[in-house]
Homo-oligomer: A and B are copies of this chain.
Amino acid sequence: MAQQRGVAAVTLTIGVDVGGTKVAGGVVDDTGTVLVQTRRDTPADDVGKTRDVIIELVAELSAGHDIQAVGIGAAGWIDASRSTVLFAPNLAWRDEPLRAYVSAAVGLPVIVENDGNVAAWAEFRYGAARHADDSMVMFTIGTGVGGGIVLGGELVRGAHGIAAELGHMLTVPDGHQCGCGRLGCIEQYASGSALVRFARAAARQEPHRAAALLELADGEAEAITGPMVTAAAKGGDPVSAEAFAQVGRWLGTSLADMAQILDPQILVVGGGVIDAGDLLMGPTRRSFTEALAQRSRLPVAEIRPAELGNSAGVIGAADLARRI
C-alpha cells in the first residue's frame, strides 16, 4: 500500500522548448529525469502552425502518461502572469495568448516562461547549481545572450515579467551595433555570433596563421561557424583560441557585475560555447577574478559550466509546470 501510494505520488509533467528551428518536448518526473522525448521542426513564420505543433507534441507525449501540467519555454518577453508571449524575436508571436490557447486544446494547466529563465531553473534544480539552495545567475550563450536569475529559491521574473534580460546590458559605450538598435550590448561581445565574428575577422586579417580554421571552412572566412571555431581551438589553432579568449574576457566582466549586483551563491555559464571547456572558461575566470581583485579577501560566487545541455529547456519547463 505504502509503495503503491508512493508510485501514485510520482507526478509527471511535460516540458516544451520552442526554439527558432526545433520544438522539443519531453515527459519529466520529479527527479528531473526525462522519461520520453521528441522533437519537430518549428514553422517559425506561422503563428498558428507553431501553436499546433506544440499541441500535437503534447498530445503525443501525453499518451500513456498521467500528466499533471505543461510548461513551455520560448525565446521572448513573457508577461508577468506567464500567459502571453508579448514579443518573440525569432517567431511570429506578438501578444500571443499562448497559455490559454494550449491549455484549452490539451485540457491541462499550462505555463509559459522565457527560455533563459527555464534553462536557469533547470540548472538550479538539477544541474550545475543544484547544490545552491538560494541563489544563482546564469548566462546562456547562444547566437545571442540569455539570462536567468534565482534569488530566495525562486526565479526573478520582474514586475512586468521581463527581468534577467541580460543580453542587452551596456558593455562598450558606442561599441558594436546590436540587433536591438543600441551600440555595445553584451550580446555583441560575449555571444556565439561574437565568437564567429571575431574568428572570421582574424581569419581575414591573418589567413596564414588561421590556416587550420580556414581549412575547416574550405578557405572561406565567411563560411566559418561556431562549431568550427570550437573544433579548431581544441586542435590548437591560435586564432580560434583567441576568439574564445575575447568572448571570455567580456563574459568574465559581466559575471563580475552580477557578483557585485546580486552576490549569488553560484554563477552558471551555458550554451554551445561551453563545449570549448577551459578555452572559454579559463579567460572567463581570469577576467572575473581581475575585475573583483579588490574584494579578493571576500568570498564570491564560483563560476560553473552548465550541466544539462540541450535538455535544460525541457527539464526546466517541466519543473516549473509542476509548481503551478
A158 and B151 CA atoms in complex are apart in Å by 9
Asked whether, in the complex, the Cβ of B170 is within 8 Å of the Cβ of A253, the reply is: yes
* Chain A interface, DSSP helix/strand/loop, else mixed: loop
Checking B165, B172, B206, B298 against A175 with a beta-carbon cut-off of 8 angstroms, the contacting residue is B172
A149 and B258 CA atoms in complex are apart in Å by 13
A64 at the interface (CB under 8 A from B): no
A87 and B87 CA atoms in complex are apart in Å by 45
A180 at the interface (CB under 8 A from B): yes
Select from chain B the residue with minimum beta-carbon distance to A197: B177
A253 and B202 CA atoms in complex are apart in Å by 17
A204 at the interface (CB under 8 A from B): yes
A264 at the interface (CB under 8 A from B): yes
Stretch at the interface among A102-110, A119-127, A289-297: A289-297
A123-153 interface with B by 8 A CB criterion? 134-135, 147, 149, 151-152
Select from chain B the residue with minimum beta-carbon distance to A204: B181
Asked whether, in the complex, the Cβ of B176 is within 8 Å of the Cβ of A177, the reply is: yes
- Cβ of A117 to closest chain B Cβ, rounded Å: 12
Asked whether, in the complex, the Cβ of B174 is within 8 Å of the Cβ of A172, the reply is: yes
Asked whether, in the complex, the Cβ of A170 is within 8 Å of the Cβ of B134, the reply is: no
Asked whether, in the complex, the Cβ of B175 is within 8 Å of the Cβ of A174, the reply is: yes
Asked whether, in the complex, the Cβ of A170 is within 8 Å of the Cβ of B295, the reply is: no
Asked whether, in the complex, the Cβ of A165 is within 8 Å of the Cβ of B202, the reply is: no
A131 and B172 CA atoms in complex are apart in Å by 35
A263 at the interface (CB under 8 A from B): yes
Asked whether, in the complex, the Cβ of A264 is within 8 Å of the Cβ of B166, the reply is: no
Select from chain B the residue with minimum beta-carbon distance to A253: B170
Select from chain B the residue with minimum beta-carbon distance to A194: B177
Checking B165, B171, B293, B301 against A261 with a beta-carbon cut-off of 8 angstroms, the contacting residue is B165
A265 at the interface (CB under 8 A from B): yes
C-beta contact mask, A42-75 vs B, less than 8 Å → 1, else 0? 0000000000000000000000000000000000
A293 neighbours in B (Cβ, 8 Å): 181-182, 205-206
A6 neighbours in B (Cβ, 8 Å): none
A183 and B189 CA atoms in complex are apart in Å by 11
- Closest 3 pairs (CB-CB, A-B): A158-B263, A181-B205, A163-B263
12 sampled A-B residue pairs with Cβ under 8 A:
A77-B295, A156-B263, A158-B264, A159-B263, A160-B298, A163-B262, A165-B263, A169-B257, A173-B174, A180-B205, A181-B204, A206-B296
